[in-house]
Amino acid sequence: MINWFMLFEFSGPGVIAEEISGNNGYVELAFCAKKLDDKDLFSKSDPFLEIYRINDDESEQLVYRTEVIKNNLNPVWDPFKVSLSSLCSCDEKKQLKCLIWDYDTRGKHDYIGEFYTTFEQMRKAMGENKIHWDCVNPKYKAKKRHYKNSGTVILKDCKAVQLPESQ
């Protein structure tokens, strides 16, 4: 673990705005999911989460990929730190695309679903209400009449982290 980070809880919108304006603003995020689709025949899915930043030119930049949780449809991923410039180019309203995959050792990983969010939404959610997103597979949504989702993803934690001033 990196123990030289100084952790600050968000204390209001002004605080994060200030941190975003600096170039040393980091955020710690933690996600878990519930009731993901099972993609494996003889065991449960092995889910991991990817976050992509959608740039102004529509290109997608991978920001973070979590570890794989083996055989678990209700995974809890380790918290991780990302800089706000990497996560959202220091723009709270930048679209983030999140994909959930079932890891496979052979061949292609199986796609479970996706959702869209922004850092603004995550930050605001950390007050009273925990936020969760439907993890949606658009193919199922188009074809299955009573399709609701392929699981839900929950933001467990979102807090500002700042690197100490250089000596």
Nearer to Ca ion, 4 or 42 (CB): 42
User: Cα–Cα distance between 163 and 79 in angstroms, integer?
Assistant: 17
**Segment 100 to 139, residues that bind Ca ion, using CB under 5 A:** 102, 104
Contact between 30 and 77 under an 8 Å Cβ cutoff? The reply is yes
- List beta partners, residue 97: 52, 116
Among 13, 23, 40, 61, binds Ca ion (CB under 5 A): 40
Q: Which is nearer to Ca ion, 46 or 114 (CB)?
A: 46
Asked if 117 and 87 count as a contact pair (C-beta separation under 8 A), the reply is no
Cα 32 to chain centroid, rounded: 9
**Residue 46 lies near Ca ion (rule: CB under 5 A):** yes
Q: Which is nearer to Ca ion, 36 or 51 (CB)?
A: 36
Q: Which of 55, 61, 71, 89 binds Ca ion (CB under 5 A)?
A: 71
Structural Rg of the chain based on CA atoms: 17
Region of 12-20, 48-56, 98-106, 116-124 interacting with Ca ion (CB under 5 A): 98-106
Site membership for Ca ion, residue 38 (CB under 5 A): no
Residue count of the chain, please give it: 167
Six-digit token string for 84: 């706000």
Q: Return residues touching Ca ion (CB under 5 A).
A: 40, 43, 46, 71, 102, 104
